[in-house]
Amino acid sequence: MRKLIIAGNWKMNKDAAQTLEFCNALSEVADKLHDTDVIVIAAPAYPFLHIAQTALKNSGIALSAQDVSAQTDGAYTGEVSATMLRSLNLGYCIVGHSERRQYHGETDALIRLKVLRLLDCGIKPILCVGETLEQRKSGATETVLATQLDGCLQDVPLTTGDELVIAYEPVWAIGTGRTATSEQAQSAHAFVRQHLAGLFGEAVANRIYILYGGSMKPENIAELIAQNDIDGGLIGGASLKIGDFSAMISSAIAKMNSR
């Protein structure tokens, strides 16, 4: 049975002091996670992973990086390898975010290498996929999702499905205040799961978490996570304020307690 994941993607926000302050507040919120089936993940900027890790020690809150190099090591100025992330004992790492695809020209083939590097190091990739508004309007959503999943996951070895998290993030909903309706999101998630079943078999696909991302906030989270194939959220803007993030964690706990 899948749990729920509430992941905060802080993007290029929060400096050292702000990261520390937020993580201290978050570790207090973590008390309510005891004996629940809710996993909380925070993804601060690279330089502050260690600060966050120290502040969240023993809180049960997991940490994620926001990206990783497709290379293993060597002369790649500015890059951070999966082995380096492993040396911090990181649990997760976001890859293929639409902002990286858009501003850094990341392709599915490159993202696939990142997925492989992470899996080699025992770090769970949070692989982002999603269509643009134009693609949705032209009826290409499922073709786009299938192409991204095929390109990023081709011949990727999965054993149970627990090693991978997918985030369905419609590009038109990211940071726009415009959220997919719960029907739109559920339909995309069901398609993603069905496609994963084609790639890895049904048993593995049923264990892969599929998060929704795109203007998720306290006001709409309950409706979204009520859907069968939505296993939580990858949250940007609304994860930056402790009050909103904490409210979303509470919604996830309420949903799991009502099962």
Record the tokens describing residue 50, joined without a space: 């260690």
Annotation says 195 is catalytic? no
- Per-residue CA distances from 179 to 55, 142, 172, 174 (Å): 32, 18, 8, 8
216 binds ligand PGA (CB under 6 A): yes
Stretch that binds ligand PGA, among 32-40, 194-202, 236-244, 245-253 (CB under 6 A): 236-244
The catalytically annotated residue of 106, 163, 169, 189 is 169
What DSSP designation does 171 have? G
Q: Which of 205, 235, 252, 253 binds ligand PGA (CB under 6 A)?
A: 235
> Do residues 23 and 52 make contact, with C-beta atoms less than 8 angstroms apart?
yes
145 binds ligand PGA (CB under 6 A): no
Nearest distance in Å: CB 113, ligand PGA: 21
Q: Which of 4, 5, 8, 9 binds ligand PGA (CB under 6 A)?
A: 9
# residues contacting ligand PGA (CB under 6 A)? 13
- For 43: left if phi > 0, alpha if psi spans -120 to 50, otherwise beta; the answer is beta
Annotation says 169 is catalytic? yes
237 binds ligand PGA (CB under 6 A): yes
Give the whole-angstrom CA distance, residue 72 versus residue 88: 16
44 binds ligand PGA (CB under 6 A): no
Nearest distance in Å: CB 185, ligand PGA: 13
174 binds ligand PGA (CB under 6 A): yes
- 62: closest CA among 89, 36, 82? 89
198 binds ligand PGA (CB under 6 A): no
96 binds ligand PGA (CB under 6 A): no
Q: Which residue has the tokens 């998630």?
A: 189
Give the whole-angstrom CA distance, residue 148 versus residue 146: 5
Stretch that binds ligand PGA, among 111-119, 167-175, 190-198, 245-253 (CB under 6 A): 167-175
First to last CA, the chain: 11
> How would you class 77 by CB atoms within 10 Å of its CB: exposed for 0-12, middle for 13-18, buried for 19 or more?
exposed
Residues found near ligand PGA in the complex (CB under 6 A):
9, 169, 174-175, 213-216, 234-238
Supply the residues annotated as catalytic.
Answer: 97, 169
